[in-house]
Amino acid sequence: MTAASPARRVLVTGADGFIGRGLVAALVGEPGVERIVATDVRDVPQERRLPDVRYLRLDVRDPSLAATLREHAIDAVVHLASIVTPDPRMGREIAYQVDVLGTRNVVDACVAAGVAQLVVSSSGAAYGYHADNPAWLRETAPLRGNEAFAYSHHKRLVEEMLAQERESHPQLAQTVLRIGTILGERVDNQITALFEKPRLLAVRGSDSPFVFVWDEDVAGAILHALRTRRAGCFNLAGDGALTLPQIAARLGKPLLALPAGLLRAGLAAGKVLRATRYGPEQLDFLRYRPVLLNTALKEDFGYVPGKTSAQAFDAFVAARAAQGRPVSRLE
């Protein structure tokens, strides 16, 4: 589905997150956008606020969201708010409330306020981490987000809900972007932490391919969705993938490939001793990574990422070196 006119009044949830800040900055310079409402669960510090942007403190679970959409005559919502790496003290129920029930509230508010388009940041994690995943996942593959991983399971639940909403409320055009591993000049997460180790850890018998997408390409794809109003579900990743051995070679670091059973036992012991917040279930996170094919993104959605997976990784390594935080031993 393609609507006639680009978005003019846009509300962004999770606007002070890593992707949200870049998107809001890009929206400021976007021709035709008349109003930008940036919402986050916390107040955005004054030094991070941009001119011509309305900043609101708003929880995605807040029932007043529909009234906010009406007040600003919002015609497109970009829903980024999500808990990617929950604090161990938070509890899974809170993450569920934000990720799943929060999205439920956003959808209901959009329908009630007559919003034309909803852009949702989903994840390749919605496909799940499974031994029988195909080598390259297309959008037609089943969504099997593992219940053992809160983030993966919640993304699956959200997408199942969105699919139902497409049937019951087709007037709300949905653009769902299943995003690969995001890299950027300032990104820090549990994946980049793996690359900072003196040696990379791998599961013997698994290359654990990674598909990367540069943060500017994530913002670029969202802008493309708002410009074109193109609806559908699309994998968002750069061309190609990098295996852990290839990543280790690029970093000039040794690769330690251990048997799955040994790693599982070590993770189980570490969790019992509270030496790590990761449990044995994290083994599949590394061993069976979903590898996203971006053909539909390029051919159907019409967006071509500026960086391949390899180029995004190399740009990340170069940015870290420029910041005095090198992750590579080849610098």
- DSSP letters for 191-208: HHHHHHSSSEEEETT---
Q: Which residue has the tokens 């070679």?
A: 249
pLDDT tens for each residue of 120-171? 999 999 999 999 999 999 999 999 999 988 999 999 999 999 999 999 999 9
Whole-angstrom CA distances from 314 to 256, 260, 310 are: 22, 29, 6
Instruction: With cut-offs at 50, 70 and 90, classify the pLDDT of residue 190.
Output: confident
Q: Mean pLDDT throughout 53-79?
A: 98
pLDDT tens-digit map of 100-126: 999 999 999 999 999 999 999 999 999
Q: Which of 170, 158, 184 is nearest to 80 (CA)?
A: 158
Which tens digit of pLDDT belongs to each residue from 260-313? 888 888 777 666 555 555 666 678 888 899 999 999 999 999 999 999 999 999
> Is the pLDDT score of 180 beyond 70?
yes
Distance CA 305, CA 239 (A): 8
The answer to whether the beta carbons of residues 292 and 122 sit under 8 Å apart is no
CATH architecture of 9-184+213-238+290-306: 3-Layer(aba) Sandwich (3.40)
- Is residue 58 scored above 70 in pLDDT? yes
Helix (H/G/I), strand (E/B), else coil: 308: coil
85 class by beta-carbon count within 10 Å (0-12 exposed, 13-18 middle, 19+ buried) = exposed
CB 109 within 8 A of CB 65: yes
In the block, residue with structure tokens 């930008």: 36
Name every residue whose Cβ is closer than 8 Å to that of residue 117 and which is 6 or more positions away in sequence: 3, 7, 75, 76, 77, 172, 173, 174, 175, 225, 226, 229, 231
- Distance from C-alpha of 6 to C-alpha of 225, rounded to nearest angstrom: 9
**CB atoms closer than 10 angstroms to residue 261:** 10
219: part of which helix (H) or strand (E)? helix 215-228
Round to whole Å and give the CA distance between 241 and 232. 24
Cα separation, 13 vs 59, in Å, equals 9
Specify the pTM: 0.94
According to the model, what pLDDT value does residue 2 have? Answer: 45
CA distance 137 to 117: 26
Strand 76-79 and strand 9-13: pairing? Answer: parallel
Nearest to 74 by CA among 177, 198, 226: 226
Identity of residue 241: A
Phi-psi label, residue 239: left if phi above 0, alpha if psi -120 to 50, beta otherwise: beta
pLDDT of residue 282: 73
* Residue that the structure tokens 């490939």 belong to: 257
